[in-house]
């Protein structure tokens, strides 16, 4: 083993000095123009700036007409009631969404929504032509049959996702900031322009190619949220490999399971991560993981900190090797339905599911939702604080904003490091316009008091977003009143790893459309929700609750579960034939708005992280002292849900150790309870009874114990 330290260029910490100062200079990546129809507008930064100025109140087409500004969008108003927020002021529909000019008299947001559902093919065809750069146009808009689990969009078309996210913006505005990396160390943010990000991506793409990574391979990325991780994702997309980003908080075993399932031969990691001031030994975790991954042949190791790490024959010093690579990398021409990435998420069995997302449909849906749900406009700074290891980080940290030529913040730290003012300090420093976070963080910050928020200037904020779990009214109100100063609409966005992008959210809305706290409310374009009753029939009326399904396919949805289409069918397509079953329950109000009521399966939501109870049970059961276990969620006022294992109380520390080793720290049970028996006659553990054993309801505990005693004494 040799020790290796890379000091020349810490790519993770600062951009490489780029070779060229203007797009026409020799170092500028010059992919053939036919690969992207972009690049016709401006060649210089000045021209670019002029264009931006022009586009403030008029429609201005940048980059193949894909990035358009709507003059009406700035006019948000808050109603007298502090909890009711107005939608967009009524504006010319074609101004709001240029492609709708071809939709034949459709007007208003609700008119657009209706059209997008009733004339789904026309809607998506127009949007796909307008917003993506195609190498070859698609020949069929869709070929879907939910009852057979067949989902295909834009077939016949060829494109490259990295070209859509980078090159076409480099052609128009090379010096626009693509990434603002908010490093764990407060106040040391680093900005990367589109040109720098393209160069970095090309270097990684060439490096991967040189090391044999081919179209169709799957590269596992185990890195903190940082520019090199984004460049690695985009580099995979550039050369036609799929990526599999694994959250850097997962344990070696959880990582190994995902590497094996994805059959990755290449892993990209960093020497160490740093989060909340604490060092995370990511390379060491990878070393342990790959011991049980026979497929892994090479591990690229970038340097996030200055500490050298032990390198083996399998390891490659990433930055050092990148410096040897060209900044031009030929993009692969990908079919619309080729895999873009796998992302593992929890289901109701112990084995995580590798959801498969493909190229065109996913990118289009991420871009469109990013543009319209958040009312994102050219020049805005979009601050999604999710880790890239989750779908939110993929769709709204990376793909959506970059496809739109936006500026996106990569947040590496935690909401309370070094203090609970971290988010708002960042909002002020980076001048963030849209802030997108999780209710668990909002609930936590609320407890620290308003002064941490008020210390900082938040006047740049225009929209606040929430994702990952239901947002309770108290947190919603605090977010709206304190953080947003009653100026900014709060969009509670419901979606899933499976849906690829936001499906239900209050925005975009018509002028007089209200926003109700804690409700996701309105389906996005192309989304048709349905509620099902216990007999599997569609509930037609309002003021009703049921199982939430989506009644027709949309481009962003997952196509399958990697290597397990049968499971995809059983989980999503078969419960309600002809519909996509989300696993969530929902209530439809009298007005027809949707409110998500929570999971209907054995999946719990801890701090916005999805985790299957079976996954935790599998880990816990590996403890020799445990015969069997049942994990249940209970309501937790910060984490949303906590989880508790019901069995031998004295094992607490041991079990926590096992769960963090097998899965991740966040999955550790809060309580461990002892049961002599809590089973049905057929031997099933009675979760419904166990759920009563929460701190919320101590009386119920007594009641059950008493009942149990009585039963035994009979
Ligand atoms: C994006 C994301 C998906 C599950 C989903 C639901 C819950 C997400 C929510 C919400 C209520 C919201 N969820 N957003 N519940 N209101 N606005 O979180 O993806 O990690 O796959 O989790 O999260 O239960 O089914 P993912």
- For 499-539, write each residue's pLDDT tens digit: 999 999 999 997 678 999 989 999 999 999 999 999 999 99
Cα dihedral 524, 528, 531, 536 in deg (nearest 10): -150
**549 has a pLDDT exceeding 70:** yes
Higher pLDDT among residues 652 and 275, named by residue:
275
Higher pLDDT among residues 675 and 386, named by residue:
386
556 three-class SS: coil
CA of 138 to the centre of ligand 1 (A): 32
Residue 42 lies in a domain: no
Closest Cα to atom 19, ligand 1: which residue? 496
Q: Which atom of ligand 1 is nearest to the CA of 492?
A: 17
Residue 203 lies in a domain: yes
Report the pLDDT value the prediction gives residue 57, as an integer from 0 to 100.
24
Closest Cα to atom 4, ligand 1: which residue? 496
Look at 98-112, 315-329, 350-364, 558-572 and tell me which has the smallest mean pLDDT.
98-112
Could you tell me if 512 and 641 lie in one domain? no
Q: Give the C-alpha separation, 243 to 262, whole Å.
A: 9
Q: Give the C-alpha separation, 270 to 466, whole Å.
A: 30
Q: What is the pLDDT of residues 360-398, one digit of tens each?
A: 999 999 999 999 999 999 999 999 999 999 999 999 999
Mean per-residue pLDDT, 583-587: 95
Whether 370 lines ligand 1, by a CB cut-off of 6 Å, is no
Higher pLDDT among residues 273 and 701, named by residue:
273
Closest Cα to atom 26, ligand 1: which residue? 496
Which one, of 663, 669, 711, 668, lies nearest residue 253 by Cα?
663
Q: What is the pLDDT of residues 126-146, one digit of tens each?
A: 999 999 999 999 999 999 999
CA of 378 to the centre of ligand 1 (A): 28
Q: Give the C-alpha separation, 472 to 605, whole Å.
A: 14
Mean per-residue pLDDT, 656-671: 86
Residue 76 lies in a domain: no
Report the pLDDT value the prediction gives residue 632, as an integer from 0 to 100.
79
CA of 643 to the centre of ligand 1 (A): 17
Count of other CB atoms within 10 angstroms of residue 216: 10
Give the total number of structural domains in the chain. 2
Could you tell me if 504 and 394 lie in one domain? yes
Could you tell me if 626 and 520 lie in one domain? no
Higher pLDDT among residues 31 and 297, named by residue:
297
Could you tell me if 233 and 376 lie in one domain? yes
Whether 468 lines ligand 1, by a CB cut-off of 6 Å, is yes
**341 has a pLDDT exceeding 70:** yes
Token output for 483: 């953080």
Confidence of residue 634 (pLDDT cuts 50, 70, 90): confident
Q: Which atom of ligand 1 is nearest to the CA of 471?
A: 16
Element (H, E) at 498: none
Report the pLDDT value the prediction gives residue 689, as an integer from 0 to 100.
61
Query: What's the mean pLDDT when you consider all of the chain?
Result: 84
Output phi, psi for 587, to 5 deg: -115, 135
Confidence of residue 27 (pLDDT cuts 50, 70, 90): very low
Domain boundary among 474, 507, 525: 525
**227 has a pLDDT exceeding 70:** yes
pTM: 0.83
Could you tell me if 381 and 507 lie in one domain? yes
> For the packed helices 282-290 and 252-262, what is the interaxial angle rounded to 10 degrees?
50
Residue 580 lies in a domain: no
CA of 502 to the centre of ligand 1 (A): 10
Could you tell me if 516 and 646 lie in one domain? no
| CATH code for position 323 | 3.40.50.12780
Could you tell me if 306 and 178 lie in one domain? yes
Confidence of residue 16 (pLDDT cuts 50, 70, 90): very low
Mean per-residue pLDDT, 596-620: 83
Could you tell me if 309 and 409 lie in one domain? yes
Could you tell me if 160 and 257 lie in one domain? yes
Closest Cα to atom 5, ligand 1: which residue? 496
Look at 248-252, 474-478, 551-555, 710-714 and tell me which has the smallest mean pLDDT.
710-714
Whether 584 lines ligand 1, by a CB cut-off of 6 Å, is yes
Residue 48 lies in a domain: no
Could you tell me if 515 and 658 lie in one domain? no
Report the pLDDT value the prediction gives residue 85, as an integer from 0 to 100.
38
Q: What is the pLDDT of residues 676-694, one digit of tens each?
A: 555 555 555 566 566 655 5
Report the pLDDT value the prediction gives residue 349, as an integer from 0 to 100.
80
Count of other CB atoms within 10 angstroms of residue 328: 18
What range does the domain containing 241 cover?
Answer: 156-413+494-525
Confidence of residue 645 (pLDDT cuts 50, 70, 90): low
Closest Cα to atom 16, ligand 1: which residue? 470
Higher pLDDT among residues 54 and 79, named by residue:
79
Residue 367 lies in a domain: yes
Whether 387 lines ligand 1, by a CB cut-off of 6 Å, is no
Count of other CB atoms within 10 angstroms of residue 707: 11
Residue 645 lies in a domain: yes
Whether 495 lines ligand 1, by a CB cut-off of 6 Å, is yes
Q: What is the pLDDT of residues 159-205, one digit of tens each?
A: 999 999 999 999 999 999 999 999 999 999 999 999 999 999 999 99
Q: Which residue in the block uniquely carries the two structure tokens 């939501």?
A: 605
Report the pLDDT value the prediction gives residue 643, as an integer from 0 to 100.
74
Residue 114 lies in a domain: no
Contact criterion met (CB below 8 Å) for 343 and 545:
no
Q: Which atom of ligand 1 is nearest to the CA of 494?
A: 17
Q: Which residues contact 77 (CB under 8 A, 6 or more apart)?
A: 86, 89
Domain boundary among 525, 540, 572: 525
Confidence of residue 13 (pLDDT cuts 50, 70, 90): very low
Which residue out of 440, 468, 475 has the highest number of ligand 1 atoms within 8 Å of its CB and is therefore the one to mutate?
468
Higher pLDDT among residues 525 and 626, named by residue:
525
Could you tell me if 268 and 389 lie in one domain? yes
Mean per-residue pLDDT, 215-222: 98
Look at 78-87, 260-269, 558-567, 629-638 and tell me which has the smallest mean pLDDT.
78-87
Q: Give the C-alpha separation, 569 to 573, whole Å.
A: 5
| CATH code for position 676 | 3.30.300.30
Maximum distance among all Cα pairs of the chain, rounded to whole angstroms: 89
**8 has a pLDDT exceeding 60:** no
- DSSP letter for 269, please: E
């Amino acid at each position: 083993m040799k020790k290796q330290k890379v000091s020349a260029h810490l790519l993770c910490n600062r951009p490489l000095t780029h070779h060229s100062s203007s797009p026409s200079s020799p170092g500028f990546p010059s992919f053939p123009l036919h690969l992207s129809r972009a690049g016709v507008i401006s060649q210089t930064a000045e021209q670019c700036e002029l264009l931006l100025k022009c586009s403030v109140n008029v429609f201005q087409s940048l980059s193949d007409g894909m990035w358009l500004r709507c003059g009406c969008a700035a006019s948000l108003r808050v109603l007298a009631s502090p909890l009711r927020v107005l939608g967009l002021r009524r504006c010319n529909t074609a101004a709001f969404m240029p492609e709708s000019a071809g939709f034949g008299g459709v007007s208003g947001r609700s008119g657009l929504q209706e059209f997008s559902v009733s004339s789904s093919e026309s809607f998506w065809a127009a949007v796909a032509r307008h917003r993506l750069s195609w190498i070859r146009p698609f020949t069929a808009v869709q070929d879907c049959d939910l009852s057979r689990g067949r989902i295909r969009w834009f077939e016949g078309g060829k494109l490259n996702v990295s070209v859509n996210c980078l090159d076409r913006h480099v052609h128009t505005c090379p010096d626009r900031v693509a990434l603002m990396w908010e490093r764990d160390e407060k106040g040391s943010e680093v900005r990367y322009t589109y040109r720098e990000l393209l160069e970095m991506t090309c270097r990684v793409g060439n490096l991967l190619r040189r090391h044999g990574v081919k179209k169709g391979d799957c590269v596992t990325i185990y890195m903190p949220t940082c520019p090199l991780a984004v460049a690695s994702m985009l580099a995979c997309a550039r050369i036609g490999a799929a990526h599999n980003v694994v959250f850097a908080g997962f344990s070696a075993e959880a990582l190994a399971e995902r590497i094996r399932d994805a059959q990755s031969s290449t892993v990209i990691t960093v020497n160490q991560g740093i989060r909340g001031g604490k060092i995370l030994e990511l390379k060491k975790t990878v070393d342990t993981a790959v011991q049980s991954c026979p497929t892994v042949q090479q591990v690229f190791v970038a340097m996030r900190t200055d500490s050298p790490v032990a390198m083996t024959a399998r390891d490659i010093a990433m930055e050092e090797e990148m410096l040897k690579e060209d900044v031009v990398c030929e993009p692969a021409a990908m079919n619309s339905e080729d895999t873009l990435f796998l992302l593992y998420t929890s289901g109701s069995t112990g084995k995580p599911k590798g959801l498969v997302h493909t190229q065109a449909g996913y990118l289009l849906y991420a871009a469109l939702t990013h543009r319209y749900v958040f009312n994102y406009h050219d020049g805005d700074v979009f601050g999604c604080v999710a880790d890239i290891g989750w779908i939110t980080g993929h769709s709204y940290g990376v793909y959506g904003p970059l496809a739109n030529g936006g500026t996106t913040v990569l947040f590496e730290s935690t909401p309370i490091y070094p203090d609970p003012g971290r988010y708002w300090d960042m909002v002020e420093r980076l001048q963030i316009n849209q802030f997108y976070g999780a209710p668990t963080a909002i609930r936590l910050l609320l407890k620290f008091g308003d002064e941490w928020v008020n210390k900082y200037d938040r006047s740049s904020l225009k929209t606040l977003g929430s994702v990952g779990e239901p947002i309770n009214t108290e947190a919603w109100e605090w977010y709206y009143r304190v953080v947003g100063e009653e100026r900014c609409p709060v969009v509670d966005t419901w979606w899933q790893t499976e849906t690829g992008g936001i499906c239900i959210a209050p925005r975009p809305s018509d002028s007089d459309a209200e926003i109700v706290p804690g409700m996701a409310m309105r389906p996005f374009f192309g989304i048709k929700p349905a509620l099902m009753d216990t007999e599997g029939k569609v509930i037609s009326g309002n003021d009703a609750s049921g199982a939430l399904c989506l009644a027709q396919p949309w481009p962003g949805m997952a196509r399958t579960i990697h290597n397990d289409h049968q499971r995809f069918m059983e989980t999503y397509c078969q419960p309600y034939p002809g519909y996509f079953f989300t696993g969530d329950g929902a209530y439809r109000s009298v007005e027809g708005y949707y409110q998500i009521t929570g999971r209907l399966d054995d999946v719990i939501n801890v701090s916005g992280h999805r985790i299957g109870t079976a996954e935790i049970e599998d880990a816990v059961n590996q403890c020799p002292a445990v015969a069997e276990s049942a994990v249940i969620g209970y309501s937790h006022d910060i984490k949303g849900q906590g989880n508790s294992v019901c069995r031998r109380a004295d094992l607490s520390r041991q079990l926590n150790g096992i769960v963090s080793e097998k899965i991740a720290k966040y999955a550790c049970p809060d309580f461990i309870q002892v049961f002599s028996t809590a089973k049905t006659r057929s031997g099933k553990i009675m979760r419904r009874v166990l759920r009563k054993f929460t701190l919320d309801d101590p009386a119920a505990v007594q009641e059950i114990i008493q009942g149990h005693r009585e039963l035994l004494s009979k």
